[in-house]
Amino acid sequence: MILQKIRTENMYLYYGNKMALNNVSISIPEKQVTALIGPSGCGKSTFLRSLNRMNDLIDSVKIEGNIFVDDINIYDKNIDVVNLRKKVGMVFQKSNPFAKSIFDNVAYGPRINGNNNKSELKEIVEKSLRDAAIWDEVKDRLHDSAMGLSGGQQQRLCIARTLAVDPEIILMDEPASALDPISTSKIEELIFQLKENFTIVIVTHNMQQAARISDNTAFFYLGELIEYNKTKKIYTNPDKKQTEDYISGRFG
Amino acid sequence: MSEMEKLRIFDNELKKLNERVINMSHLVEEQVSNAILALNTCDMKLAKQVIENDNMVDKLDIKIDKLCQNIFALQQPVATDLRYIISSLKINNDLERIGDHAVNIAKRIEPFCNYMSFSKKFGIDELANTAVSLYKDVDQLIKTHQLVLANDIFHNALIIKDNCHKASEKIIEEMMHQSEVIVVATNLMIIINLIERIASYSTNVAEAIIFVVEGKIVKHQKRNEEH
């Protein structure tokens, strides 16, 4: 049986008076890749960021409705946001390694969680770099600066940094949009491997990428979830004309 | 190149494909009609023309294949566009086969010229005419995508197949009693089989158009009712 890892119920999100998400109800299955697609400003990144309460950092944001992760409402008052973000990691469009060594980038999360055991950290760093499919490229220069890595390598390092705190869900906001085709294909291959152990939610503007890597696709437009289904269904025979127009590039 | 320009190119390619498939269908319709007319009237000149025109069908077949290949490679179609291009490939293949069967009929006409009454005795002329009208529906369906025509095609193809079966049984019976008709009767059986194949490929085309319009796969279904 496929478990539903994330569930939102009648979710509304406002930036001040402006409604950015309008009554979004969705169930995201465990250990699958779910792609969020839609034109700029449709609310997909806003939705993604609300899954680990990144929107809390914006003062004007107000959220109504419920968001559950493992059946726990993550907007409950007693939720520890730091723990939530450990469980729900995030990778951004632009790779953002710290100006530290490769090793220290990956060890950063475990260290601030109080782990200072050298051999354990070494193990975590190696496992995370291996899982992020970058170990072979950096194993001989772990103490070099992360800033010397290529864009594609930096992005995989950021994924390794996310994995190091042992998350269950990884949110990705256009993780390959700034990368060349080879680096993009490495990231896509990595996402494919990661879904064996993690639930992945990815925002992408690349229609072919969503089709290639995701199991489920959600199409957002003007803050509404227009259609949500298996990716195969969305890309061969979507139910809504708006979805068809968008994925075939005939929007507007 | 802007997104709008890319879309314009894509839409033009789809329009070109649609025009070519319709042209292919018209060409094949002409081939089937002429082959059957030549069969029913023993018109050897017309039969020869059908055989010669197969070249045009084959050339268009390759042009459609190449265009589909290019659209797949360069435009990455999805949804209705994807279904349309997949179906165009299949329809093109089926039309080319129907064209080949028209040619095969045309090639077998000569031996019948001295046995027209034998052929008529088994109602082959009428059977052949029903195949022509079935194909006219196919041609219309390809042009209009009106699914009511698909149901007519399924229905009429079943009748044709049934009549082909009945005619074959009668011919076999005749062969058992008159050994001198074996050669011409065998040829006639082959023609009946070709007519039956045209009906069968026609249902394939109807199934492909349903897939385009509704996204449903309706092939390999027992079909006594509407889809």
In Å, what is the CA distance from A166 to each residue of A35, A202, B42, B54, B143?
A: 22, 18, 82, 66, 58
Please choose, from the candidates B165, B167, B169, the residue with its C-alpha nearest in 3D space to the C-alpha of residue B200: B165
Interchain proximity B79–A237, CB inside 8 Å: yes
What is the least distance, in Å, from the CA of A236 to any CA of chain B?
Answer: 4
Give the best residue of A230, A237, A244, A251 to mutate against chain B (max B CB count within 10 A).
A237
First to last CA, chain A: 39
Give the best residue of B7, B8, B75, B78 to mutate against chain A (max A CB count within 10 A).
B78
- DSSP E strand stretches across chain B: none
Hey, what are A226's tokens? 């227009």
Hey, what are B154's tokens? 């399924």
The whole-number pLDDT of residue B226 equals: 47
pTM for the whole thing?
Answer: 0.86
Over residues B159-171, mean pLDDT: 95
> Is the model more confident about B15 or about B182?
B15
Q: Distance (Å, rounded) from C-alpha B153 to C-alpha A238?
A: 28
Contact residues, chain B to chain A, C-beta under 8 Å = 3, 6-7, 10, 76-83, 215
Over residues A157-171, mean pLDDT: 96
Tell me how crowded residue B43 is: count the other CB atoms within 10 A of its CB: 17
Tokens 């074959």 found at: B168
- Give pLDDT tens digits for B120-158: 889 999 999 999 999 999 999 999 999 999 999 999 999
The whole-number pLDDT of residue B178 equals: 87
Highest-scoring range by mean pLDDT, A90-94, B85-89, B116-120: B85-89
Pairing of strands A33-37, A216-221: parallel
What is the least distance, in Å, from the CA of B1 to any CA of chain A?
Answer: 14
Interchain proximity B7–A249, CB inside 8 Å: yes
Q: Distance (Å, rounded) from C-alpha A211 to C-alpha B76?
A: 11
Hey, what are B99's tokens? 């064209």
Q: For residue B89, is pLDDT > 70?
A: yes
* Set of chain A residues whose Cβ sits within 8 Å of the Cβ of B77: 248
Q: Distance (Å, rounded) from C-alpha B57 to C-alpha B24?
A: 7
In Å, what is the CA distance from A247 to each residue of A167, A210, A231, B78, B81?
A: 31, 10, 11, 7, 11
- Give pLDDT tens digits for A79-125: 999 999 999 999 998 889 999 999 999 999 999 989 999 999 999 99
The whole-number pLDDT of residue A178 equals: 85
Over residues B57-79, mean pLDDT: 95
Domains of chain B: 3-226 (1.20.58.220)
Residue A85 DSSP SS3: helix
Q: Distance (Å, rounded) from C-alpha A103 to C-alpha A125?
A: 7
Over residues A187-209, mean pLDDT: 94
Using CA coordinates, name the residue in chain B closest to A238. Answer: B79
In Å, what is the CA distance from B167 to each residue of A62, A101, B189?
A: 78, 85, 8
DSSP, residue by residue, B81-125: HHHHHHHHHHHHHHHHHHHHHHHHHHHTSGGGTT-HHHHHHTTHH
